[in-house]
Amino acid sequence: MRRSLRYYWLKFLRMQDTPHRIALGIAIGMFINFTPFVGFHTILAVLSFFLLPVNRIATLSAVWLNTPWTVPVLLALDYKLGSWLMACPATWTNFNFTSFQSLLEFGCATFMPMLYGGIILGLLGAVLSYALSLNIMLYWRRQRKAHLLKVYNSTTLP
């Protein structure tokens, strides 16, 4: 398992694209992860391919980090932050589901805080993941270049 993770990590680092496009793809994928549009994350990622100059593999890899175990945690964080920002926390016991109107009110009362919280947390996650992944890519490529130059200069030509 560890060997295969290392293999895919190195394969990811060796992608043939600019560090900016790879980091931007990761950042967009992380932003999408925080949105409450569960089930549509991959579709949103594919749409981002046409709107932004991102690396497709990096974007999908970042989007697919959102697993069934992390979705409830992210949605709860989105809701908590969004309801705090909106200063109107919804109480789950006040809703009765006797009509379509009450169901719609329940959806608006929970979806809007999730959306606002998701945008704020998504922007924070995107900025942090962009900075981190860009620095990792630049560092790894500098190290790789130095290593290859060292190997090239140590070989003797006949």
Domain edges within the chain = 2-154
Position 34 scores a pLDDT of 93
pTM confidence score:
0.81
Q: Is the model more confident about 157 or about 14? A: 14
Looking at 23-91, which runs of residues are DSSP E strands? Answer: none
Q: Which of 109, 107, 105 is nearest to 86 (CA)?
A: 109
List the single range of 21-30, 81-90, 113-122 with lowest mean pLDDT: 81-90
Mean pLDDT of 51-62: 91
Chain mean position to CA 26: 6
- How far, in Å, CA of 54 to CA of 48, rounded? 8
Mean pLDDT of 117-137: 95
- Is the separation of the CB atoms in 22 and 132 below 8 Å? no
Which amino acid type is present at position 13? L
Mean pLDDT of 5-16: 80
Position 120 scores a pLDDT of 96
Asked whether residue 97 carries a pLDDT value surpassing 60, the answer given is: no
- How far, in Å, CA of 155 to CA of 158, rounded? 10
Looking at 10-158, which runs of residues are DSSP E strands? Answer: none
